[in-house]
Structure 1
Amino acid sequence: MASLAHWRDRHEAVLAMKQSHFEQRHQDAWQQFGERLDALERSRRRHDAGDGFTQAYRQICQHLALAQARGYSSHLVEPLQQLAMRGHQQLYRHRSQFAAQLLAFVLADFPRLVRAEWRLVTLALVLFFGSLIVMGLLVYGYPDLIYSVVSPAQVSEMESMYDPAARRIGQAAERASSTDWLMFGYYIMHNIGIAFQTFASGLLFGLGSLFFLFFNGLMIGAVAGHLTDVGFGQTFWPFVVGHGAFELTAIALAGAAGLKLGWALLAPGPMRRGEALRIAAKTSVRLIGGVMLFLLIAAFIEAYWSSMTWPQPTTKYLVGAVLWALVASYLMFAGRTPHAPD
């Protein structure tokens, strides 16, 4: 019995020594995390959690698990449990506030931002839709003009995609057997590529964005004019009228975001160009966030609605008119409050 008691005492002494070493090693980190939690619990700001909070919380959880597995005393385990519980509450709060921030951006902040940059947005819209409409009318009146901007192979592919006899409208023959889900992903990647190109090229003092707005307008207008001229307008227009509200608007807004970067480089004012570009980029990146949302919606509509052949053209035109009105109303009126005039 004496030897058993001696062994137990020795084990407890070793355990206490290990616990003491464990506490000394991590005490500063626990104290810093506790102080950070105190500050967070006193504040209601949405972005207080900051960088590294999740990593620090996970470290506390690891230390708690080790303390429990090694059988350390409740004097150590219970404070760690409290830290872990408080950290979990703050992490949950932070994630909930991120969702609230995202919702606020979608419902109010993005349309307000578009209206705040109305000059650049108007320039982008006029350049893009102006070149689209003018080129469409020219190609419709002078059919051979299509080959000045589109190769014969591309013209043939477009005709096959919008042939009234096609099973799925708007899909090339080699993709005809693809599922709607795969086409949804394809449309997202394709449209984001165009939007990012239009946006990022604004770093060339805005010239790149101006070029791609004009070029994309010419290409889309030429295709629209040609397909209408050859009699495929009955399939082309019902196909594009729905998702075009979001997709075409997004391309123009991406151009406006690129022009914002270019203008900061051309006219930095009293600031250095680097500083002016950094400030402009904050606005441009937020615009691109809204553009990505528009392109996501456009890809969904294109994959699951536009390509269907069973709805009557009149139905698609009505749905398209509603979607265009929705986009226009959203950008012009969403987020307006008596206390926050645009």
Structure 2
Amino acid sequence: MDLDAYVAEHSAEWRRLDQLARRRRVTAAEADELVALYQRAATHLSVVRSRSPDPALVARLSGLVLAARNAITGAPAFSWSTVGRFFTATFPLAVYRAWPWWSAVATSFSILTFAIMAYVVAHPEVANLFMDDAAITRMVQSDFVGYYSEFQSQNSTLRVWTNNAVLTAECLAGGVLLMPVLVVLFYNAFNVGLSGGVMIAYGRGDVFFGMIIPHGLLELTAVFVGAGVGLRIGWAWIAPGPLRTRGRALVEAAREGMLVALGLVVVLLVSGLLEGYLTPSSLPMLLKDLIGVVVWAAFLAYVVVLGRAAELAGVSTDLPEELTEASVPVA
């Protein structure tokens, strides 16, 4: 198919469809014209996809068809019930289904981190390869604790929320290539293990764990979930299974990954609030740790209980049928 000739032949129709789709009000005749042009554009999109799948043209026609469909049927209205369903069924289900992946990430990360801690405690001189004596002294005496009260609570919350969101996004997005996720996890495990090993070696282990637990359990779990789901996305195109193509398996896993990403925004906000307000507070250390453990356990219970219930109820994490590619009409 001569793509340039095809575009030249139908571009006038597409421009007219775009004009009609942008109007807030149309006459009865224009409405009939809009429907007819929409059906023709959907056919054109199907033809281009099957015969000459130019990415730029496919994207242009896809956007045009979606805009026209919204103009005809009306854009979906915001509904609190949809938000409620997301947080009570869809999100916990997506996380629950990926639990073998993120629990394996959590286990591997913990083993590696504690192994590094133990090695640094047994060989304190190793820390000098990465920081000088003055830096070690500052960290043990003041910097580690002072880090959590360096900024005002609201500023600290926003900074931590942003940083952790970026880290989790890197794990999710890099999952399709597998290796980037492993590199990010190793880097963070090494930093936590080195810092913990130094604090323990200098008799400040209680301070280290006391300051980490209030926010760190939930924060790290969110990162583990993001990394696990990211690796699951990557594995989908390596081993799609006997009944799915690689492309379909990747798309389905990526869709669930996007759901998890949306939900983790809220989870990371909660961990940011804990780090910004609870960790540097004047509450007794044991009380702060207890609150952190309770919040973390509540999140795990939320995922397991609601996620399992949603799975038993047959809830789907896929897009609604009217939003999928297969539902585009062909005239």
Question: 1:114 is matched with which residue?
Answer: 95
**Aligned residue pair count:** 258
Using the alignment, how far apart are the partners of 1:51 and 1:212 within structure 2?
38
Question: 2:38 is matched with which residue?
Answer: none
Question: 2:323 is matched with which residue?
Answer: none
User: Are positions 1:216 and 2:188 aligned together?
Assistant: yes
1:154/1:116 CA distance change after superposition, 3 Å: farther
1:108/1:154 CA distance change after superposition, 3 Å: farther
- Segments of 5+ residues of structure 1 without an aligned counterpart are 1-24, 36-49, 58-86
Question: 2:27 is matched with which residue?
Answer: 27
User: Are positions 1:281 and 2:254 aligned together?
Assistant: yes
1:122/1:336 CA distance change after superposition, 3 Å: closer
Compute the displacement of 1:188 (Å): 1.1
Compute the displacement of 1:222 (Å): 1.9
1:56/1:250 CA distance change after superposition, 3 Å: same
Task: Name the SS of the counterpart of 1:231 in structure 2.
Answer: coil
Query: What letter is aligned with 1:191?
Result: N
Using the alignment, how far apart are the partners of 1:155 and 1:251 within structure 2?
27
1:118/1:315 CA distance change after superposition, 3 Å: closer
1:324/1:105 CA distance change after superposition, 3 Å: same
Query: What letter is aligned with 2:158?
Result: G
Q: Deviations over 1:85-121 (max 9, x none)?
A: xx9xx87x821x2x32222222232222222123212
Question: 1:94 is matched with which residue?
Answer: 77
Q: Is the Cα contact below 8 Å between 1:121 and 1:252 reproduced in 2?
A: yes
Select the structure with the greater relative contact order (CA < 8 A; seq sep ≥ 6).
Answer: 2
1:269/1:317 CA distance change after superposition, 3 Å: closer
Task: Name the SS of the counterpart of 1:307 in structure 2.
Answer: coil
Q: Is the Cα contact below 8 Å between 1:162 and 1:232 reproduced in 2?
A: no
Using the alignment, how far apart are the partners of 1:197 and 1:221 within structure 2?
21
Using the alignment, how far apart are the partners of 2:292 and 2:269 within structure 1?
17
Query: What letter is aligned with 1:296?
Result: L
Using the alignment, how far apart are the partners of 1:322 and 1:331 within structure 2?
14
Query: What letter is aligned with 1:27?
Result: T
Q: Is the Cα contact below 8 Å between 2:213 and 2:292 reproduced in 1?
A: yes
Q: Deviations over 1:298-335 (max 9, x none)?
A: 11111111112x21112112212322322222222234
Using the alignment, how far apart are the partners of 1:147 and 1:199 within structure 2?
34
Compute the displacement of 1:186 (Å): 0.8
Question: 2:172 is matched with which residue?
Answer: 199
How large is the Cα RMSD of the aligned pairs? Answer: 3.4
User: Are positions 1:162 and 2:153 aligned together?
Assistant: no
Compute the displacement of 1:197 (Å): 1.9
Instruction: Kindly name which structure, 1 or 2, has the bigger radius of gyration based on alpha carbons.
Output: 1
User: Are positions 1:301 and 2:274 aligned together?
Assistant: yes
Question: 1:183 is matched with which residue?
Answer: 156
Query: Identity over the aligned pairs, expressed in percent?
Result: 25
Query: Normalization by structure 1: what TM-score?
Result: 0.64
Question: 2:6 is matched with which residue?
Answer: none
1:111/1:155 CA distance change after superposition, 3 Å: farther
Question: 1:44 is matched with which residue?
Answer: none
Compute the displacement of 1:156 (Å): 6.1
Question: 1:227 is matched with which residue?
Answer: 199
Query: Normalization by structure 2: what TM-score?
Result: 0.66
Compute the displacement of 1:250 (Å): 0.7
Q: Is the Cα contact below 8 Å between 2:103 and 2:224 reproduced in 1?
A: no
Question: 2:321 is matched with which residue?
Answer: none
Compute the displacement of 1:341 (Å): 7.4
Q: Deviations over 1:175-211 (max 9, x none)?
A: x3x322211111111111211222222222x122223
